[in-house]
Amino acid sequence: MQDEKTASMNASDSELNEKFGHEPKENKLVRLIKSVVISAEQGTYVDESIVKFKYYNAFNYSLLSRDRENIHLSMGVTGTRRGIGKTLVACNLAVSLALGSQKKTVLVDLHVANPRLHTIFGVSPTPGLADAFLNGQIHVTRTAIDNLAILPIGNFVPTLEETRPLGDSSTVVVEPITVRPELGIHHLSAFRDVVYSLEQEFDVVIVDMPPINNESVSVLFANQLNGVIVVIDSGRTKREELDSMFHQLNERQVLGFVLNRFNERLSV
């Protein structure tokens, strides 16, 4: 990876395409290659309440062993609701691939309403994904962990103008109000280009995603990836929630499941 330089195009791994049911990328839509820029700054710490050895050591993704080269895999980490540990799983999976499998890994924050990756890995929240949507550069930041970089959320705070009368209503003022940022289908094409560009520079692209449910467009963003990891909270996720998710998500897109907060004593 080089600063201020357009990422070069590499052929995608044919075996992975066959494994996950994808056609070769050259048969898909033409995608814009954005330049990947590495920040001069580096993460100074890691939140050890989130990233722990017992968590990231639990992942053993044999498909991505050290001796496998020319692998470019993009995956999302999602679930059926908030608060089930998706970000924890995404962080520890990324650390496992970076340290254990020695894969160049980038972790992307897609939680526009409640981004957390920049605080967990001690990097600046801007510039990031939102900025990459608007221009031809993708700014990533190295973390304190070898082979792991972060694409934070960026400046994803839209504003609206509100008109209201002042005093006796003879004067009208216009003032900005902050609204909750949301992903929309107008972001989809730019997200596709960002993921494709990152795939040219990194072995693995992991996206920390919002939940997939009837009120979100997350499934459209999941469709831009090779697949997803579904996080299940053993105490909260309901079967009907999973059934609802699979009405939107193709089962072939699921690379695996992570059962979170599993109590072995209760399973005996």
Contact predicate 249/241, CB 8 Å: no
Considering the entire predicted model, what is its pTM? Answer: 0.79
Highest mean pLDDT among 19-28, 73-82, 153-162, 211-220: 73-82
Distance between CA atoms of residues 264 and 87, nearest Å: 22
User: Cα-flanking dihedrals φ and ψ of residue 229, to 5°?
Assistant: -100, 125
Helix (H, G, I), strand (E, B) or coil at 166: strand
Question: Which position has the token pair 């908030």?
Answer: 82
Mean pLDDT value across residues 170-179: 59
What is the model's pLDDT at position 217? 78
pLDDT tens for 114-149 read 899 999 999 999 999 999 999 999 999 999 999 999
Contact predicate 226/199, CB 8 Å: no
In order of their start, the domains of the chain are 5-156+187-263 (3.40.50.300)
Highest mean pLDDT among 7-11, 25-29, 66-70: 66-70
What is the model's pLDDT at position 265? 46
Name, in order, each residue with C-beta under 8 angstroms of 261's C-beta and a sequence gap of 6 or more: 85, 233, 234, 235
Strand intervals (E) in the chain: 5-6, 35-42, 73-78, 105-109, 137-142, 148-151, 159-166, 171-178, 204-208, 227-233, 254-260
pLDDT tens for 45-74 read 999 999 999 888 888 655 555 555 677 899
Helix (H, G, I), strand (E, B) or coil at 60: coil
Where would I find the H helices in the chain?
14-19, 53-56, 86-99, 117-120, 129-134, 188-201, 218-222, 239-246, 264-267
What is the model's pLDDT at position 61? 59
